[in-house]
Structure 1
Amino acid sequence: MLRRIFGGTSNKKEEQSSSIRESLQKVKECEEMLIKRQDFLERKIQNEVNIAKSRRKDNRRIALHALRKKKRYEMELQRMDVVLTKLNLQRLSLENTIMYISILEVLKDSCTALKNINESMDVSRIYDVIDEGDELNLISNDINMVLSRPVKTENEIDDEELLRELGVLENEKLSDNLRCTTTNNNNNINGKLPFVPSHDVPSKKDDKNKRSRDVEDELDDLRAWAAS
Structure 2
Amino acid sequence: MSKFPNFFKGSSSSGSKSKHHRSRGGPSAQEAIHKLRETEEMLTKKQDYLEKRIEQELAIAKKHGTKNKRAALQALKRKKRLEQQLTQIDGTLSTIEFQREALENSHTNTEVLKNMGYAAKAMKKVHENMDVNKIDDLMADITEQQDVAQEISDAISRPFGETFDEDELLAELEELEQEDLEESMSSMGGLPSVPSSRLPSSRPSQRATTRRKAEEENDMRMLESWAI
TM range, smaller chain: 0.5 to 0.7
Distance in 2 between residues matched to 1:97 and 1:80, nearest whole Å:
25
The amino acid that maps onto 1:48 is E
Distance in 2 between residues matched to 1:59 and 1:75, nearest whole Å:
25
The amino acid that maps onto 1:134 is T
TM-score (norm 2): 0.55
Query: Segments of 4+ in structure 1 off by > 2 A?
Result: 15-18, 139-152, 154-160
Among 73, 87, 90, the residue aligned to 1:78: 87
Distance in 2 between residues matched to 1:18 and 1:145, nearest whole Å:
74
Among 39, 61, 81, the residue aligned to 1:52: 61
Distance in 2 between residues matched to 1:126 and 1:151, nearest whole Å:
41
Among 109, 112, 119, the residue aligned to 1:110: 119
Two-structure CA RMSD over aligned residues (Å): 3.7
Contact conserved, 1:34 with 1:84, CA < 8 A, in 2? yes
- Give me the identity figure in percent: 35
What does residue 34 of structure 1 align with? 43
What does residue 20 of structure 1 align with? 29
Superposed CA offset, 1:151-186 (max 9, x none): 99x9959749x99xxxxxxxxxxxxxxxxxxxxxxx
Q: Give structure 1 stretches of 5+ with no counterpart.
A: 1-11, 164-228
What does residue 126 of structure 1 align with? 135
Structure 1, 99-108 or 136-145: larger mean CA deviation:
136-145
1:93 aligns to 2:110 (yes or no): no
Distance in 2 between residues matched to 1:80 and 1:148, nearest whole Å:
88
The amino acid that maps onto 1:142 is E
What pairs with 1:1-228 in structure 2 (closer than 5 Å)? Answer: 19-142=28-151, 145=154, 156=166, 159=169
Contact conserved, 1:17 with 1:98, CA < 8 A, in 2? no
The 1:127–1:49 alpha-carbon spacing in structure 2 relative to 1, beyond 3 Å, is same
The amino acid that maps onto 2:95 is K
The 1:159–1:69 alpha-carbon spacing in structure 2 relative to 1, beyond 3 Å, is same
Distance in 1 between residues matched to 2:96 and 2:25, nearest whole Å:
20
Q: Give structure 2 stretches of 5+ with no counterpart.
A: 1-20, 174-228
Distance in 2 between residues matched to 1:134 and 1:33, nearest whole Å:
71
The 1:112–1:18 alpha-carbon spacing in structure 2 relative to 1, beyond 3 Å, is farther
Superposed CA offset, 1:10-30 (max 9, x none): xx99x9897110110010110
Distance in 2 between residues matched to 1:29 and 1:61, nearest whole Å:
40
The 1:151–1:18 alpha-carbon spacing in structure 2 relative to 1, beyond 3 Å, is farther
Greater gyration radius: 1
